[in-house]
Structure 1
Amino acid sequence: MMRRILLCLALLIICIYAGATVLIYGDTRNHPEVHRELIARVQELRVNAVFHTGDLNQKGKSQSEYDSFKEIISPLPAPFYAIRGNHEKDLALFIKNFPSVDGLSFYSVIYDSLKFIILDSNLPLLPGSAQYRWLVNELESSKLPLILMLHHPVFSSGYHGDELGLQYYLPQLFKKYPVAAVISGHEHSFEHLIWEGLDFFVSGGGGAPLREQGSPDPRSVFFNMIHHYNLLIRQPQALLWQCFDLKGDLLYETTISLP
């Protein structure tokens, strides 16, 4: 108990004296009891924004699913941004419930001189597609450090494994610009991978049934099959990533260099 209290105090001090703090979690799907436990744990944190890595609901085809989801997240004290997962099957219904400025399922937001670019990996992302052209324009028009977010992971050693179609062109594109990290969901676990110095995080432990690690991947730095949430904390020259279990215990911590 004392260890947890000290950890909470340390986290509070970090949040007060650091820059923006962002909450990241995902893949809540059809286990609202786990989602409620997660929200109860994080609702008192001083966060500036919340990002959900996708698969909010089990099917994403009814307004009642979204109403239940919104009731669960209602205690959160910060703006909430959703990434469309493969379980958000009705695109129009997803956009209706989580509208962007342009009315699309891919968009960007800025917090504390960090630009978050949200992609829809369910839509075409091949070079030449409308979303790819939009992405290149977002990358080229920004001088801020970039955080890329999409539901399907480019790299993963989890149950589903790598998204090979995304690997052929996205990592090479990201390396041309000041991308600090790429964040995904889809795998019901937590993982940190590094490819050519670029950090890739997979966070899908918000309530969906947990899945074991698949084939080992030399790019994988850390893997844990556990329900969890993450904090991304802006520091003067870097980003601090912290992963916690639903008891509030720190599972993993790393520093991300800003390009």
Structure 2
Amino acid sequence: MALSLKENMVLCAMLCLLITPSVAELPRFKQPLNESRQSLHFLVVGDWGRKGTHNQSFVANQMGIVGEKLNIDFVISTGDNFYEDGLKGVEDPAFYESFVDIYTAPSLQKTWYSVLGNHDYRGDVEAQLSHVLKEKDSRWLCLRSFILDGEIVEFLFVDTSPFVDDYFQDPGEHTYDWEGVLPRMSYISQLLVDVNSTLAKSKAKWKMVVGHHTIYSAGHHGNTEELKQILLPILEANNVDAYINGHDHCLEHIIDKNSGIHFLTSGGGSKAWSSDVKPWNLDELKLYYDGQGFMSMQITESNADIIFYDVSGKPLHTWSISKEPKLASSI
């Protein structure tokens, strides 16, 4: 009997854990440590591109203020960069209306490391990946999957939309741009091998993975079962410290009681979903906030300090993950 797509992917994920790691083919970028403080400071925002509406402009303003206070080195975007249907092409004015003309603060004139969300896949994907956008605004860096080497931390950005069965089997009225992804099985299989290889070979003190879709979430979309079955075992086997995502329009912090992985959702860049939360074990759920906002992180050799902020810049939740000694506690 032929295996289903999901069964094939689970089998592939299991095989990835048994294969001797090879050199990853994913593009790699370097983000040097701040020499004076030997650390990295950055912001994380997701689900933002609405031409300033739904409080996007207010979130952007507070990001600028916090970014200046923390002297950030870069910004991470967790996807759904342009609503509702991505970009129409490299000349789409939405690139200016939702990005260039919104995030104008001096502190935000740093590289934006971005992944694609499901809404981005409803437009011209190649437009978002094009060097033409970087020529329009040098901050913009968006690829399907890539590695960011921060010396003490290695970030692995993963293209998660191709994992989700519904986008292929039941897309409804939406049209997705899968050029560059098909055949899907081959694309996902190679990506899983690259993910496992990259994480297994990493010598960084911290290992973090960034994707658009949730793995664990009490929010509207909830868990992404495909990622839970296929990607999560690879993260667990390679001792990943945190998985950072958007997709659910909220701010959220879950610590898995078994693996200890921190699941950090920063999807509050614009439109939020009020009171849309599912029951969750409160020993694991450290924050659920159903409003707009963003997250900051400051990483040193020994600590990763996380702060979530609301639309007014008020800190909602702080947490410190420590490497030496191995602790994780509220601050």
Please state which band the TM-score falls in when normalised by the shorter chain.
0.7 to 0.9
Distance, in Å, in 1 between the alignment partners of 2:192 and 2:45 is 25
Give SS of 2:93's match. Answer: helix
Equivalent position of 1:225 in the other structure: 290
**1:95 pairs with 2:119:** no
Indicate the residue corresponding to 2:267 in structure 1.
204
Q: Which residue of 2 aligns with 1:56?
A: 81
User: d(CA) in 1 for partners of 2:295 and 2:142?
Assistant: 28
Query: Is 2:211 the partner of 1:150?
Result: yes
Deviation string 1:217-242 (CA, Å, 9 cap, x unpaired) is 22322211111111111134120000
For residues 89-118 of structure 1, give each alpha carbon's deviation from its aligned partner in whole angstroms, at most 9, with x where no partner exists: 22211211469xx99410011225111110
Shift of 1:211: 4.0
What corresponds to 2:322 in structure 1? 257
Q: Match for residue 162 of structure 1?
A: 223
Number of aligned residue pairs: 242
Q: How does 1:162-181 map to 2 (within 5 A)?
A: 162-181=223-242
How far off its partner does 1:30 sit? Answer: 2.0
Q: How does 1:17-36 map to 2 (within 5 A)?
A: 19-30=39-50, 32-33=52-53, 34-36=55-57
Aligned counterparts of 1:191 and 1:237: Cα–Cα separation in 2: 23
The structure with more radius of gyration: 2
Instruction: Determine the structure 1 residue equivalent to 2:196.
Output: 136
1:86 pairs, out of 113, 118, 122, with 118
Deviates more, 1:236-245 or 1:128-137: 128-137
Contact 1:159 1:213 (8 Å CA) reproduced: yes
Paired residues of 2:78 and 2:212 also in contact (CA < 8 A): yes
Deviation at 1:210, TM superposition (A): 2.6
Paired residue type of 2:86: G
Verify the 8 A CA contact 1:105 1:120 in the aligned structure 2: yes
Q: Which moved more, 1:63-72 or 1:175-184?
A: 63-72
Within 2, Cα distance between the matches of 1:211 and 1:54?
Answer: 20
Question: CA 1:220/1:50 → structure 2, altered by over 3 Å: closer, same or farther?
Answer: same
Q: 1:117 aligns with which of 147, 152, 156?
A: 156
Q: Give the direction of change, closer, same or farther, for the CA distance of 1:249–1:214 in structure 2 (3 Å limit).
A: closer
Residues of 2 paired with 1:124 and 1:177: CA distance?
20
- Aligned mates of 1:72, 1:137 — CA distance in 2: 37
1:72 counterpart SS class: coil
Cross-structure match for 2:13: none
Which deviates the most, 142-151 or 59-68?
Answer: 59-68
Backbone CA RMSD of aligned residues: 2.4
Paired residue type of 1:51: I
CA deviation after TM superposition for structure 1 residue 124, in Å: 4.1
> Which structure 2 residue ranges, 5 or more long, are not aligned?
1-35, 136-140, 165-184, 327-331
Aligned-partner SS, 2:60 = helix
Which of these residues, 27, 45, 62, is aligned with residue 41 of structure 1? 62
Normalising by structure 1, report the TM-score.
0.85
Cα distance in 2 for partners of 1:117, 1:208 equals: 27
The separation in 1 between residues aligned to 2:63 and 2:147, in whole angstroms, is 24
Q: Does residue 96 of structure 2 align to residue 70 of structure 1?
A: no
| Maintained 8 Å contact 1:148/1:179 | yes
Which of 130, 144, 147 is the equivalent residue of 1:105?
Answer: 144
Distance 2:272 2:228 in 1: 26
Q: Distance in 2 between matches of 1:211 and 1:132?
A: 35
Q: C-alpha separation between the residues in 2 aligned to 1:227 and 1:170?
A: 28
Query: Residue 268 of structure 2 contacts residue 292 of structure 2 at CA under 8 Å; is this kept in 1?
Result: yes
1:234 to 299, 303, 326: 299
Kindly indicate whether residue 227 of structure 2 is the aligned counterpart of residue 193 of structure 1: no
* Maintained 8 Å contact 1:18/1:233: no
Query: What stretches of structure 1 of length at least 5 have no aligned partner?
Result: 1-15
Name the SS of the counterpart of 1:132 in structure 2. helix
Matched letter for residue 77 of structure 1: Q
TM-score by length of 2: 0.67
Segment of structure 1 superposing worse, 30-39 or 130-139: 30-39
CA distance 1:133–1:188, shift in 2 (3 Å)? same
* % identity of equivalent residues: 22
